[in-house]
Copies of this chain bind each other. A is one copy, B any other.
Amino acid sequence: MTPDEISAHYRLVRNGSVELSAPLSAEDCCVQSMPDASPVKWHLAHTTWFFETFILERWEPRFRPFHEAFRVLYNSYYNAVGDRHPRPQRGLLTQPTLAVVLAYRADVDRRMAMLLAEAEGGAELLALVALGLQHEQQHQELILTDLKHLFSLNPLAPAYGPPPPAAAAAAALDWRAFAGGVVAIGHAGRDFCFDNETPHHRVFLEPYELASRLVSNGEFLRFIEAGGYADPTHWLAEGWDWRLTNDRQHPLYWRHGHDWQEFTLGGLVPLDCQRPVVHVSYYEADAYARWAAARLPTEAEWENAAADLPVAGHFAGRRQYHPSAATTGGLQQLFGDAWEWTCSSYAPYPGFRPGAGAVGEYNGKFMVNQYVLRGGSCATPEGHLRATYRNFFPAAACWQFSSIRLARDADAVEPGA
């Protein structure tokens, strides 16, 4: 990209965050619903802190911070930067107010524009700008999912936007076969990627099959009606404990009164059986797959299937923050709509080296007891995803747009299949 293109891209991405918060009150932006989630206002500030701390602090002539306390206040988890405000207390920060945080954004954007215009930092600066914008896009998705969690706990069931439009009928679920063998995964080339996508490397795959689309609400409802939440034999032992401890009877945002309803960013709506099931934990995804005589794919199986496909689908650019039904045959919904749990534990690729400096804490230190999700969701910003992209969450996490794509061994032929 040229300097002008970079500056334009910077403005575009940064404005996107503010636009996401535009429909919200200062109160909506301030509150934290659980330690895992952060207030919208915190996301707006922390993404700004990233540029101020990692770029301006280093390259800006006569650097002076917008506010001295922000270096600690908005540090998420970078030990190399120093102290940080405790994560579960992000929601206690009624001050700085939203107005102050927006002023912080404007100030840093102004200073960043000057810095980019001067273009003194060279490749290292530009790489950090790119990382900062990708980072901002990740937080844009979290703004939506964290807000959804907050609203879901409000008995008034507030809506962020209009309800999802009526969904078309989902196509029948069929299977697509892959030959396996020694295949290469991971990111190659010079385009941007996160460090956790590297290096490009070989893995060996047995022949396998992937389901043509995500599991639908209707299919998941049959699992429930068949007693899936009452029979431990479908579940991982830890998953069953999780289910009992949290008294889970259905996916996180389903509600059961006279009829099934689903809480969405458009408010509480009747459950639409055509759409993909979302907001399931790894435990639920795994239990469903076992009940369905299938399994979850490995991330290598997923990536091998997705590698040559166009990165197109229902992303956040549509401004419809709920997944759509897959209405056509073939391998659908690999990108967008909903993240797909893989059965791969989040681990470093062979030869993995974290990034240099503080940003080396970006990914590597989280590579334990999490599972990889692939493909992006309806809340993922347009252009943010790649086939090599690795998202990751603990097995109990449900508040992301996480769904299920079934896989099976190629030789596992079902009767009549």
Contact of A27 among B98, B156, B204, B235 (CB under 8 A): B98
User: Are B26 and A79 touching (Cβ within 8 A)?
Assistant: no
**Chain B residues within 8 Å of A72, by CB:** 155
**Chain B residues within 8 Å of A409, by CB:** 350-351
Q: How far is the CA of A238 from the CA of B286 in the complex (A)?
A: 23
A173 CB–B CB distance under 8 Å? no
Size category, A interface: 35 or more
**Chain B residues within 8 Å of A31, by CB:** 30-31, 91-92, 94
A63 CB–B CB distance under 8 Å? no
Q: A251 CB to closest chain B CB, in angstroms?
A: 19
Q: How many copies of this chain sit in the oligomeric assembly?
A: 4
Candidate in A73, A95, A367 with the most chain B CB atoms within 10 angstroms: A95
A395 CB–B CB distance under 8 Å? yes
User: Are A202 and B201 touching (Cβ within 8 A)?
Assistant: no
A138 CB–B CB distance under 8 Å? no
A343 CB–B CB distance under 8 Å? yes
Q: A165 CB to closest chain B CB, in angstroms?
A: 24
A132 CB–B CB distance under 8 Å? no
Contact of A345 among B92, B286, B347 (CB under 8 A): B347
User: Are A368 and B238 touching (Cβ within 8 A)?
Assistant: yes
> What does the 1/0 interface line of A359-384 toward B look like (CB < 8 Å)?
00100011111000000000000000
Contact of A369 among B73, B94, B344, B395 (CB under 8 A): B395
Q: A284 CB to closest chain B CB, in angstroms?
A: 12
A232 CB–B CB distance under 8 Å? yes
Contact of A154 among B79, B80, B95 (CB under 8 A): B95
CB under 8 Å from chain B, chain A span 1-49: 25-31, 33
**Chain B residues within 8 Å of A182, by CB:** 182, 204
Q: How far is the CA of A22 from the CA of B233 in the complex (A)?
A: 38
User: Are B366 and A237 touching (Cβ within 8 A)?
Assistant: yes
> What does the 1/0 interface line of A171-199 toward B look like (CB < 8 Å)?
00000000000100000000000000000
User: Are B206 and A204 touching (Cβ within 8 A)?
Assistant: no
**Chain B residues within 8 Å of A236, by CB:** 365-368
Q: A183 CB to closest chain B CB, in angstroms?
A: 9
Contact of A155 among B30, B33, B85 (CB under 8 A): B85
Counting from the closest, the 3 A-B pairs by CB-CB distance are A345-B345, A27-B94, A204-B204
CB-defined A-B contacts under 8 Å, sample of 28: A25-B26, A25-B95, A27-B27, A27-B95, A27-B97, A28-B94, A28-B95, A30-B31, A33-B92, A69-B155, A69-B156, A85-B155, A89-B153, A92-B150, A92-B153, A92-B154, A94-B150, A95-B154, A95-B158, A182-B182, A201-B206, A202-B204, A206-B351, A237-B365, A238-B366, A282-B368, A351-B409, A368-B395
